[in-house]
Amino acid sequence: MTGISQISLKSLPAAGEIQQGESLASQGITGAETHKLPEAKGISVSSLAFSWAKKYYSTVAARENQAPRQIPHSPESSNFEGNRAKIVDKLTDTLKVATEIAWSRVEAVLGEQIERHAIDPSLINQEEIAADTRTLYRKAIDAYGDREPVFRLSVLVGKDIVEVRRKYSETDPLVLGFVTLEFQYTSKILLGCLSESERSEFAPYLKVVDDYLHIPYGEINEGAANQPPNSKALLAVQHLLQHTTQIASAVYDRASSQHQGYRSSSGYLSDPQVKISGIRDVEIFQSYLCWCVLAESIGPIQQELFPICVMLYPKLHVSWELVQDMLLILFWEISDRLPAADVMVFLPYLRTLTEMFSSNVFEN
């Protein structure tokens, strides 16, 4: 493979290399040496995070056992037009069975991961997860039925979603992986019962719920509240959050061009729904970088993002090479859009994140 995949981990410069305010593109990043992280809560040097990531992955890989089971097919879509009230009725009638079908898929994909990742089975409560899924999606359906604008949904249910997310992540971050997959499969089934025109109307409401569930908005807001006004960390995060979607779109497009013909369990990278979820994944990585910067710790990635990715990505046939290329492209995109002072704030965490997902971690 040519292009971005040929750039090695050492291509990422240390923060000191951009102190003169030059853009990363103008000075180039080829051949820079690996440098240590500054002292921060929860970690001292980037090599420590790399060693931890390698050990974590090796431990998980050692528990690998049976081959994955077959994933059931989704029910056929009932394509018929209807007004808003009929759409609401259709979604409401489908919701309960959708969460049940979705959970059977979650079990098929992740059932063996309970032992492999040493998760306490008592923490994975199917009925509770399904009930939370129905509650939040029902609120989205009601908002749609009441003709609430999409942007209002974050105000109406954002706090509820944050609380549900935190409930599971604080118990065991890996349980959050089961929850997000339950929401993902339920969402697909709900959209599958709608016609194409109906789907385009309702899909944005589901996306708001999914985004709030996947992205640690609550933790980012708390971290921002704990920062002094106009701190370098706060300003850098504010600037990045203004560009996350544009950055994610650019990263996805460039990574897709590097992996033409690549197919995950969800479909080809060119498929519209795969692109939506892929762009969201890049936004998720950026949000964890923001959380780390505000917390002055690599802990959010170590404790939550990395373990969830290790559990989910192989089962969804997302290759580590694709993730590695995405992170390298992400570095370029962030450096192109943010001032050098902001890039310096993110660089230690971005370097460490890249090291944790490097090929050396997953070589076995």
Q: Does residue 109 sit in the same domain as residue 48?
A: no
The reply to whether 71 falls in a domain is: no
In a domain, 70, yes or no: no
Q: What is the pLDDT of residue 151?
A: 87
Place of tokens 């949000």: 287
332: burial class by Cβ within 10 Å (0-12, 13-18, 19+)? buried
Q: Domain check: are 293 and 342 in the same one?
A: yes
Are 241 and 358 in a shared domain?
Answer: yes
Residue matched to tokens 């305010």:
21
Instruction: Tell me the angle at which helices 232-241 and 340-356 cross, rounded to the nearest 10 degrees.
Output: 80
Instruction: Please indicate, yes or no, whether residues 203 and 222 belong to a single structural domain of this protein.
Output: no
- Distance between CA 70 and CA 159 in Å, rounded? 36
pTM (predicted TM-score): 0.79
What is the maximum alpha-carbon separation in the chain? Answer: 61
End-of-domain residue from the set 189, 214, 239: 214
Q: Could you tell me where the DSSP H helices lie in 111-172?
A: 113-116, 126-145, 150-171
- CATH number of the domain bearing residue 38: 1.10.490.20
| 76 in a structural domain | no
> Domain containing 152: what range?
83-214
Which helix (H) or strand (E) covers residue 277, if one does?
Answer: helix 272-295
pLDDT at 50: 61
What residues in the chain have per-residue pLDDT under 70?
A: 1-82, 364
Based on the fold, state whether residues 126 and 145 are members of the same structural domain: yes
**pLDDT score at 60:** 60
Provide the 10 A C-beta neighbour count for residue 148.
15
Among 168, 194, 214, give the residue marking a domain's end. Answer: 214
Same domain, 96 and 144: yes
- 74 domain-assigned: no
Q: Which of 172, 198, 214 is the last residue of a domain?
A: 214
